Amino acid sequence: MHRNLNDPANKKYGIALPTAESVLTEQSFSQFALSNQANVFNAEGKITLDTPEMMQALTYYRDLAANTMPGSNDIMEVKDAFMNGTAPMAIYSTYILPAVIKEGNPKNVGFVVPTEKNSAVYGMLTSLTITAGQKTEETEAAEKFVTFMEQADNIADWVMMSPGAALPVNKAVVTTATWKDNDVIKALGELPNQLIGELPNIQVFGAVGDKNFTRMGDVTGSGVVSSMVHNVTVGKADLPGTLQASQKKLDELIEQH
């Protein structure tokens, strides 16, 4: 599809795709990698960047990038290309929805998720946690506050601080007037419910089975993954060599601690 829509001679491109050395590029690529069962870590906590599965995902992302706007594209370039008609498809970002509501027709927006070997979509969960090791009365006060905040009407107010971008995991939220009567939610039609339906398919680099390797924060902070994607898409670097070099960098990073 993206190839058929690509017409760079007339400044029309098949898909708006992040290719900059940025967190968005890592997040966008991760969906395709995880859908192909390629992760940065394995269950033993070892770096697994240089694998056949990751090579396949990176090859696919590079092929997609051949039909995107030239240069390093990040959040604003992707949003602008999608909104001004330069590209009819774009990698989803919460920055896009407000622009669609303000400048476009939200009824014409749909989405798909990568489904190579399994469904995978990038997402982050925001939750309230209680610190361990504090006084009993402090813990009890925190528990009361969390219980209060988790009531449907209260958590709906929290979610609606960023309507259309933040999505509720508490099913009761969508039954509240705060949700149903919100202008943004109404403008988006069934799209918010469809997006909520994909929450079970959220996958992120560093989470393997029931393990969550916190060193993924160091990996993201190093920029190795986004640079890897940037180098093969914008820089036209050799895929095997880039994967090997990136694996080496992350191995050295993890060995430092």
Domain ranges of the chain: 2-125+202-255, 136-199
DSSP code of residue 116 = S
Average pLDDT for 58-73: 96
What is the value of pTM for the model shown?
0.89
pLDDT higher than threshold 70 for residue 2: no
DSSP code of residue 231 = H
pLDDT higher than threshold 70 for residue 67: yes
Q: What percent of the chain has a predicted confidence (pLDDT) above 70?
A: 99
Q: 2-125+202-255 — its CATH code?
A: 3.40.190.10
Going by pLDDT thresholds of 50, 70 and 90, the confidence category of residue 90 is very high
For residue 191, the model assigns a pLDDT of 86
Average pLDDT for 94-110: 79
Q: In one letter, which amino acid is 115?
A: T
pLDDT digits (tens, 9 = 90+) for 17-59: 999 999 999 999 999 999 999 999 999 999 999 999 999 999 9
